[in-house]
């Protein structure tokens, strides 16, 4: 499951706050029953074009990763929460909106890789795909 959040109209000071981003990345995975396996990496970036400056942070979790990129001068933030396990995406969205004071969000929820959570099903599907390819089916033409 991959929750993609584009947020607007938030608290500009919070978007500049490296400690806030770091603490969120450090603490938040546990609230979604995820396992943080690295320390968060958070950087402030002063871009050549001032409006592209902001704070970026990333943490690796056993289930995948969480990343945040803020663009305070554009009044914009993007956040990805990516996990190979299902999680409460509605709670995550509400928590992010509250943390950064977002007044508008656009979100996408993607199911990614879930077919491989069951090893037997994944093996059966790969065998079926191989049979189609060997029979000259879709994907056979590589030049």
Q: What positions carry a catalytic annotation? A: 64, 69, 84
State how far the Cα of 95 lies from the Cα of 12, in Å rounded to an integer.
Answer: 17
State how far the Cα of 35 lies from the Cα of 124, in Å rounded to an integer.
Answer: 30
Alpha helices of the chain — where are they, by DSSP H? Answer: 12-16, 18-31, 89-100, 119-134
DSSP for residue 83:
E
């Amino acid at each position: 499951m991959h929750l993609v959040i584009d947020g607007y109209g938030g608290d500009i000071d919070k978007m500049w706050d490296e400690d806030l981003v770091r603490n969120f990345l450090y603490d938040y995975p546990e609230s979604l029953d995820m396992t943080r396996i690295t320390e968060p990496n958070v950087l402030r970036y002063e871009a050549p074009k001032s409006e592209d400056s902001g704070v970026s942070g990333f943490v690796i979790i056993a289930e995948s990763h969480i990343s945040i990129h803020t663009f305070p001068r554009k009044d914009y933030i993007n956040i990805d929460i990516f996990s190979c396990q299902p999680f409460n995406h509605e709670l995550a969205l509400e928590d992010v909106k509250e943390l950064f004071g977002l007044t508008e969000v656009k979100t996408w929820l993607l199911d990614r890789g879930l077919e491989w959570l069951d090893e037997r099903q994944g093996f059966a599907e790969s065998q079926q795909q191989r049979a189609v390819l060997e029979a000259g089916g879709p994907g056979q033409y590589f030049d």
